[in-house]
Amino acid sequence: MQSEIQAKLAKQPLCAGSQIAEADLRQILEKAILAPSGHNWQPWQFRIRQDGVELHIVRQPIMEFIEQDDHARYLSAGAVIENMCISAASLGYSVVAQYFPIPENPLFVAYIRFTGLSPADYHLLDLCHLLDARCTNRGFYDAAQPMDYSKLLTLSQLASQTASTRLVWIGRDTAEFPMVAGLCGRSEQLFFECERGHAEILEGIRFRTESAAMQRDGLDVRTLDLGPMGTAMLKTCRSWNVQTLLNQFGASRLVNFVTQRQIKSSSAVGLVISDSSDHLSVVLSGRVMERIWLVATKLGLSLQPLYAILPLIRYPTSRERFFSASQILAIERMVGDFRMLFGCSESNAQFLFRIGHGCTPKVRSLRKPLASFILTDERSGSSLTESCHNFEPIRTPLSDKLVNTAQLRIEPSEVS
């Protein structure tokens, strides 16, 4: 390790205004887009500048309910920044991120510059090889395999490295664990009993292998690990009318049951909590999320985000738009249960997940080509350009090359 560090330091140190090597920047961005994102929508854009890179998030209109405050997008942007820090360290650079440099443009998440590798970042050198290995495991875990709780302590210490975050665990051997499983199961059930929630979940699922390979976003149905019968049932339920009919015969309750079984096969459920709920706190929590996920991968643990519960309890103003009176009462009870179980407000809850010992997934989510994430003057749009008046856009050789390669990209087809 010491010789590797010395090799990194042998690079010519960078000053604030210098350029990063083209090949290095390309590699850093390739690793950056391996970050997780809700439904694998990959809501990021980069603009390459002479002395750094802008990171922006993109809103998807179809996610009106699940993504009302851009929470998952900011969380994912934090994971992108964490990946950039790790990849940059492996190439001999450290990252300096200026968060939300233009306050009136909340979609402009960070301006990222590169300097010579700092000794404070030496620990990142052990994580770079994990960027490709990290993935979501949505299957059943091996409940018979005992958890080494020192591993959970290691992950908790990672969260505490950021002053504003902490990690709370509820283990399988606690009285609260079945209550957490029930809470998550009920939240999944409600999504399949809500027309808007049902539509947003199904919109992101790619039912054909060809469609998944062509679009390279969303969730390949094979990554859900439903088996042939579960996949066939989900296909049948793409129509809301069919879903409503099948719910009368217990389809949504079956979703609840399966979700609880999956969680009970896990060793623990974890929650990343921040002291604040502002955009910066969510981005920093995203960095913590990715750090935890990578180290969990290193420790041989499987992880799955539990996304359904937080949108339900986080947005009280939307309940009357999407849910019946009885469903609203059920959600209000869920809010109380959540606060009791985790000891925090739902607004400060950033990332809920389950963890345990699982088999390596056979199919993983894909990523779009790097070129599709690169902004230039022509692709940025007037509103974005005007809002970035303090950061005059420029063209660089690398941005030109990346955008030119986008001509080879096959445009997405309809979900099938």
| Domain match, 48 and 154 both | no
pLDDT of residue 173: 95
Question: What pLDDT sits at residue 69?
Answer: 82
Asked if residue 139 is part of any domain, the answer here is no
Residue 363 DSSP class: S
CB-based contacts of 322, cutoff 8 Å, min separation 6: 65, 194, 195, 196, 197
Q: pLDDT below 50 — which residues of the chain?
A: 1-2, 4-6, 8-17, 379-416
What is the number of structural domains in the chain?
2
334 and 213 co-located in one domain: yes
Are 350 and 373 found together in one domain?
Answer: no
Order of strands, sheet of 302-305, starting from the edge strand that comes earlier in the sequence? 165-171, 268-274, 349-356, 302-305
pLDDT of amino acid 90: 96
pLDDT of residue 19: 65
Phi/psi of residue 238, each to 5°?
Answer: -65, -30
Give the list of residues 6+ apart from residue 371 with CB closer than 8 angstroms, or none.
402, 403, 404, 405, 406, 409
- Angstrom CA distances, 25 to 22, 49, 138, 307, 398, stand at 5, 11, 32, 32, 9
Q: Which two tokens stand for residue 276?
A: 């604040």
What does the pLDDT read at residue 321?
85
Domain that holds residue 189: 149-356
| 19-56 per-position pLDDT tens digit | 688 899 999 999 999 999 999 999 999 999 988 999 99
Q: Are residues 90 and 127 in the same domain?
A: yes
Asked if residue 398 and residue 349 are part of one domain, the reply reads no
Same domain, 392 and 321: no
User: What CA–CA distance (Å, rounded) separates 407 from 392?
Assistant: 26
Residue 66, pLDDT score? 74
What CATH number does the domain containing 210 carry?
Answer: 3.40.109
Are 334 and 392 in a shared domain?
A: no
Residue pointed to by tokens 């990063």: 20
Closest CA to 36 of 278, 413, 290, 234: 290
Token pair 């339920």 in the structure block, residue: 237
Tens digits of residue pLDDT in 135-191:
999 999 999 999 999 999 999 999 999 889 999 999 999 999 999 999 999 999 999
Structure tokens at 322: 């999407």
Instruction: Say whether pTM exceeds 0.85.
Output: yes
Q: Are 2 and 182 in contact (CB under 8 A)?
A: no
